[in-house]
Structure 1
Amino acid sequence: MKIKTNLILSAFTIFALTSCKNEGKENKAETPIDKAVEEKQKFQNQAHELVYQMTQKVGDYSKLASKKDVVYTYTYRIPDGKTDIITEKYIFNDELSYGAYQKHERTLPDLEGLIEQGYDGNEFWIKLNGAPLNDAAALKKVAFNRPTNFYWFAMMQKLLDPGLQYEYVKELTINNTTYDVIKVSFNTSKPSDIYQLYINKETKLVDQFLFTVMDFGRTEPMLMIMEYEQVEDLLIPTKRKYKKSNWDAEVTEEPWILVNWTDIKFNNGLTKADFKK
């Protein structure tokens, strides 16, 4: 999951990254030509511009944030068949996050009943069957999962967050599809996660990407492959699978971890009270 938003994997607790604050944009009266020139001047390099073009195809963060909030079902299945089914809820402003684990064979499997976890803008919390849990290890996972799951949902838009660096790696053809390969990293003093995006030159979409999980000491990448779904006026990568790889995007023989997002609904009228413990 930052890009630093670090992904969660390993055992395999939910992959992810921790999210960066999105900055607002001033509304200015300007012509399309002026706007294009302004955006061009903001680009660090060609790689940055290609990421920008991708966000225009899927829908940028201002378009996502205009939806106010989202509710959807998150299904996560590991190779041994163990599955989590979670009702996820986010408010885009302040990046509030809630998850209700209807099924948790992978996450806290020893607990029975409904597990809820949330972030209300100030506090991370977890409850079992309506009763708060104060277990330090469980709360640590919540502090990782909540911003991580939010980031995964908004990742394509948040690839334009402040503090990111972009590098054009190469042009590459895989199975008759040509990609611009872009490295995205954080400008930070400590080790941070790296993304290597494969942007389809024809569709402008990220068909797949490599990522590290530095919070868990994983410097070798995982490969994520995605399929998109049109939801209102956004393209959302709702079908995902990932597993171990190398920096040439060559995967191992082990099975894929499968992730699906379904029943996505925006503008549900959620308030901050819905995210309180």
Structure 2
Amino acid sequence: MKTIQFIKFGILSLLLIFLSCDQKKEKDSSENTVAEVAKKETPKKKEITYNVNAPETIIRAIAEASGGWNNLWNLKDVEYTYTYEQADGKKDVSIERYLFDGEYSWGKYSTHQVNVLPEGTKPIVQSFVKGKSSVSMDGKKMTDEKMIATTDFLRQVNYYWFMMNFKIGDPGTTYQYIGQDTVDEKVYDKVSIAYDPQKTGKEANDAYILYVNPETKLIDQFYFSLPAWGINDTVLLMKVKYTKIDGIQVSTHRHVYIPNEKGEYPEEPSLSEVSTDIKFNNGFTVEDFKI
């Protein structure tokens, strides 16, 4: 086992004022009619289907409980500050921007001590537009293959972590309900996730074991692999905390625990990923993501 360093009725009151008794009776009748119409038209809280015998319903329930695809889509884009910090204090800090239509990803790193360019201090801007990655350093576009490869990985993985509860059921996903487990006196439903290489176009795909809270329908923690870093078994542990913003449950705090050679997990996280200053619907266009 390899240890690595990486990782949110009102109806407008209709007041009819009349002076005579006959007019008051008309008023009462009118109000009763309005109340009946309102009762019929008030949308009911959407019931989320969640059936352990049909794990695909659990996957859909996660997205619905997280705010729903339609609500997220209508928000169009997001910007936030992302701090990726290791236990030793080294970190990457970036302003992240995503455009949901097309899955465009952009990041500007003011601090990059871990993944981007550890030995440098100049600002780095990464971009992923229409499947192509670009990167600049201190305003100058770079052609270094290693920097472009790092950009390609980070732009897609950062987008995925932010959007995970909505993307966990992407085309090519296979899932299986594998029973329950109790963590901190809370019973969770476990769902294993894998991906079809022919659908994803990648030879090595990440795998997950989700711990789904049956009450909230959210993923409180999960185990995962990371083939890109040489970790092919689902041994990395991620614990998640959410903040509801504009109706979307955003995973604002993610903590990774990396086991040692004996399979023992540390008490403190090996890596923390914190998202702050989250703003949706900023009006970004594709041009804003280009370098």
- TM bucket (normalised to shorter chain) is 0.7 to 0.9
Taking the aligned partners of 2:189 and 2:286, their CA distance within structure 1 comes to 40
Taking the aligned partners of 2:65 and 2:227, their CA distance within structure 1 comes to 30
Q: Which residue matches 1:133?
A: 142
Q: Which residue matches 1:194?
A: 207
Please tell me whether the aligned partners of residues 44 and 166 of structure 1 are also in contact (alpha carbons under 8 angstroms). no
- Runs of 4+ in structure 1 off by over 6 angstroms are none
Aligned ranges for residues 48-87 of structure 1 at < 5 Å? Answer: 48-87=56-95
| Structure 1 counterpart of 2:94, one-letter code | I
Q: For residue 110 of structure 1, report the CA deviation from its aligned partner.
A: 1.8
Identity %: 35
Q: Which residue matches 1:274?
A: 288
Taking the aligned partners of 1:227 and 1:122, their CA distance within structure 2 comes to 30
| Structure 2 counterpart of 1:223, one-letter code | L
- When the two structures are superposed, what TM-score results if normalisation uses the length of structure 2? 0.77
1:214-260: CA deviation from partner (whole Å, max 9, x where unpaired): 122212320000110010111111111002249xx962467421110
| Structure 1 counterpart of 2:103, one-letter code | E
| Structure 2 counterpart of 1:209, one-letter code | F
| Structure 1 counterpart of 2:275, one-letter code | W
1:136-175: CA deviation from partner (whole Å, max 9, x where unpaired): 1111100111111111111101112121111011111222
* 1:226 lines up with 2:266 in the alignment: no
Larger radius of gyration: 2
Q: For residue 188 of structure 1, report the CA deviation from its aligned partner.
A: 2.4
Taking the aligned partners of 1:133 and 1:71, their CA distance within structure 2 comes to 24
Q: Secondary structure at the match of 1:241?
A: strand
Aligned ranges for residues 1-277 of structure 1 at < 5 Å? Answer: 10-12=4-6, 15=7, 46-106=54-114, 107-188=116-197, 190-220=203-233, 221-245=235-259, 251-252=265-266, 255-277=269-291
1:30-77: CA deviation from partner (whole Å, max 9, x where unpaired): xx9xx99xx89xx99522111212221112223212111100000011
CA RMSD for the aligned pairs?
2.6
Taking the aligned partners of 1:124 and 1:145, their CA distance within structure 2 comes to 10
Q: Which residue matches 1:26?
A: none
Taking the aligned partners of 1:257 and 1:99, their CA distance within structure 2 comes to 20
- When the two structures are superposed, what TM-score results if normalisation uses the length of structure 1? 0.81
Distance 1:226 1:181, change over 3 A: same
Q: Which residue matches 1:29?
A: none
Taking the aligned partners of 2:249 and 2:268, their CA distance within structure 1 comes to 29
Give the gaps of 5 or more residues in structure 2. Answer: 8-42
Taking the aligned partners of 2:82 and 2:157, their CA distance within structure 1 comes to 13
Counting matched residue pairs gives: 244
Taking the aligned partners of 2:130 and 2:52, their CA distance within structure 1 comes to 32
Q: For residue 105 of structure 1, report the CA deviation from its aligned partner.
A: 1.9
Distance 1:78 1:46, change over 3 A: same
Taking the aligned partners of 2:230 and 2:239, their CA distance within structure 1 comes to 22
1:167-207: CA deviation from partner (whole Å, max 9, x where unpaired): 01111122210100000111225442111000012222110
| Structure 1 counterpart of 2:145, one-letter code | A
Please tell me whether the aligned partners of residues 172 and 178 of structure 1 are also in contact (alpha carbons under 8 angstroms). yes
Taking the aligned partners of 2:72 and 2:236, their CA distance within structure 1 comes to 27
Distance 1:44 1:124, change over 3 A: farther
